Structure formats: structure tokens, C-alpha cells
Amino acid sequence: MINDPGASVPKNIFYFQVLLYLSLLIDVLSAAFLDRIPDDVTESTKLAVNFIAVMMTLGFVQLVWLAAHRRKKWARTVLLVALMLSVASIVTTVGEAGMQFSTFVDVISTALTAFGLYFSFTGDARDWFRQPV
């Protein structure tokens, strides 16, 4: 059953996926509707920033999938490091500019990621990552 591509994932891995994909959806919607790029930046720079954001989001989607379906511990670790960087970024932003709506959205997204990663390290997820693919 382990190698069966149609086999369902454990409950905690399912929650991990749902919460991280929801976090990424919030990030995408936030990038689309909250203009965080200064007005004095050229159009080509704005395009480059948006392209990088899209590529990073697709990379995170791939990392979630690798952790959830291919049981790659390293992908889960990369997501954990990204979470730590997000927390540091939020703390810095709040310290410099205070709490704004965009920062609140980031806090929600980061909290969803934290809860999702919590599920990936607990319960039936432990055995999931110990078994070979």
C-alpha cells in the first residue's frame, strides 16, 4: 500500500497540506491585491519582483507536495526555515512600521504555516516520514 499512488495520506499530513496551501493562497491574494512595491520603482523592476514572487510560490507548492506525497524530510525542513525567516521579517516590519493591514495578513499566513508544520511533525505524520516511499 505504501507505493500505491492512490493511497491516502495520514490525517496530520492532510492538515499539513491544507494549511500550507491555504497560507500560500493568502500570500498570492495578498500579492495581487495589496500593493507593497513603492511607486518610485520602474515597471521592469515591478515585473521582476512579481515574477520572483510567482516562482517562489510555485517552489513552495512543490515543497509541500514533496513533503506530503514523496515523504521528503528535507522539503519539510526547507519550509520550516522559510517559516523562521517569515517570523523574523514580521517582527522586523512591526518594529519599524507598526502593525498594518498587510502585516496582519502576513501574520495570518505565517500562523497557518506554523500550524501546518506542527501537524507535519506530530501524530501519524511521524511514521509517514519514517517509511520509505
pLDDT at site 2? 46
| DSSP assignment of the chain | -TT-TTPPPPHHHHHHHHHHHHHHHHHHHHHHHS--S-TTS-HHHHHHHHHHHHHHHHHHHHHHHHHHHS--HHHHHHHHHHHHHHHHHHHHHHHHH---HHHHHHHHHHHHHHHHHHHHHSTTHHHHHHS--
Instruction: Extract the residue ranges of the chain whose pLDDT is less than 50.
Output: 1-2
So what's the pLDDT on residue 5?
55
The 10s digit of each residue's pLDDT in 82-109 is 999 999 999 999 999 889 998 999 999 9
